[in-house]
Amino acid sequence: MILVSGGAGFIGSNFVVDWLAHGNESVINLDKLTYAGNLQNLHSLNGDSRHIFVHGDIGDTTQVAALLKQYRPRAVLHFAAESHVDRSILGPAAFVETNVNGTFNLLEAVRCYWSALPDAERLAFRFLHVSTDEVYGTLGPDDAPFAETTPYAPNSPYSATKAASDHLVRAYHHTYGLPTLTTNCSNNYGPCHFPEKLIPLVIANARAGKALPIYGDGQQVRDWLYVGDHCAAIRRVLEQGAIGETYNVGGWNEMTNLSVVHELCDILDRLDPRQDGASYRIQIVYVADRPGHDRRYAIDARKIERELGWKPVETFESGIAKTVQWYLDHQDWVQNIQSGAYLSWVQQNYAQRAITEPTL
C-alpha cells in the first residue's frame, strides 16, 4: 500500500480517487482537515476498504511513525501543504509551520522508517514530493519556460516555503540516501477545487450574481494543468521516475487570467445563462493587484515526456468544460464549502482591494 499526506485536499483527493480507480493497491490517507481538507471530496470511496482515512498531522512524528510501522507502505506521496498565495501574504506563519516544519518532520519519520526496512523493501521504497512551479519565480513575456534546472527565485511566502520544502527533500536524498522524487506542477484546475482559487471562485461568484474580481490588469499568464492529467503524471513518476530526480509537470496551456475568466463566462453563458440574458462578463471588475504578483509562469514539460512517456491528455478547452459542468452538477458541494470561515476570508482578502474599472 501507499501513504498519501493531504489526501482530502484538492489535488490529493483527486489523486486518491484516481489511484483506486486504476488499481487495487490500498491508500492510507493522512489529512489534518484544515479549511481546504474536505472529506466530501472522498465520498465516492465510502465503504471502500482500500481507503484508510486517518485524521492527523504530518508534523506529528509520533503519529506518522506509528502509521508507518502499522501499515508498512511501499511509498509516501506528500501532497499536504498550505497552498494559496493570498493566504500566505495575510498569514505566513501557517505556511512556514506546514510547508517547512511539517515537511521536515515527515521526512524525519520516513527516514527512520525507511532505514529500518529489510534490504529489498528499502530498495523499492519511494518518497514522492508534490511541489509547484512558483518556486522558480516569474518569467518575462519572451523568457523560456521553467525547466528542472531553472534557479529558484520564490517571490511570495507560499512559494518560499515550498522552495524550502523542495530543498529539504533534495537534502534528505543527497545526505541520507532517501529515495526521493519531486514534481513541480503548473496551475491545476478541476473538480473539488477550493473556491478561493481563480477558476472555482469565478464559477461560484458568477452564479451568485457577485463581482468577478480580476487582479491588476488581468494579464498575468499561467500554464493550466487539468488535475486528472496531473494525477496520471504522478502515478507515472512514482512508477518509473529516477531516484533523486525532479520532473516538471505542465499542461502546455499558457493563458492570461483575464482570458480564463472570459472563457468561464462564455461557457456559463451557454450552460447556465443569466436570467436577464446578459453575459456573465458584465460582472467582471478589476481590483488592486496582489503584492509581488508574479507576471508569468510557464512549464517546460519535455523531460517527463521524453523520459517517462507522459504528456497531458486534456486541452484547456476540454478540461475547463468538464470543470464547469462538474461545479454545475455539484452545487451541494459548493454550498457546503462556502462556510462562514470561507466567507470571512473572502471579505478580508478583497475588502481593501478597491474596484478600479469594470470591463466587458
Spatial contact of 172 and 180, defined as CB atoms under 8 Å apart: yes
Burial class (CB in 10 A: 0-12, 13-18, 19+), 141: exposed
State how far the Cα of 299 lies from the Cα of 147, in Å rounded to an integer.
7
Please tell me which residue in 134, 166, 294, 314 is annotated as part of the active site. Answer: 134
Q: Report the side by side order of strands in the sheet with 246-249.
A: 51-55, 27-31, 2-5, 75-78, 126-132, 180-185, 246-249
Spatial contact of 246 and 148, defined as CB atoms under 8 Å apart: yes
Reply yes or no on whether 134 is catalytic: yes
CA 90 remoteness from chain centre: 19
Please tell me which residue in 136, 158, 280, 297 is annotated as part of the active site. Answer: 158
Reply yes or no on whether 158 is catalytic: yes
41 DSSP 8-state letter: G
Please tell me which residue in 82, 133, 263, 300 is annotated as part of the active site. Answer: 133
User: How many of the other CB atoms lie within 10 Å of CB of 285?
Assistant: 17
Nearest residue to 202 (alpha-carbon basis) of 318, 324, 294? 324
State how far the Cα of 94 lies from the Cα of 169, in Å rounded to an integer.
20
State how far the Cα of 335 lies from the Cα of 317, in Å rounded to an integer.
26
Reply yes or no on whether 133 is catalytic: yes
Active-site residue list: 133-134, 158
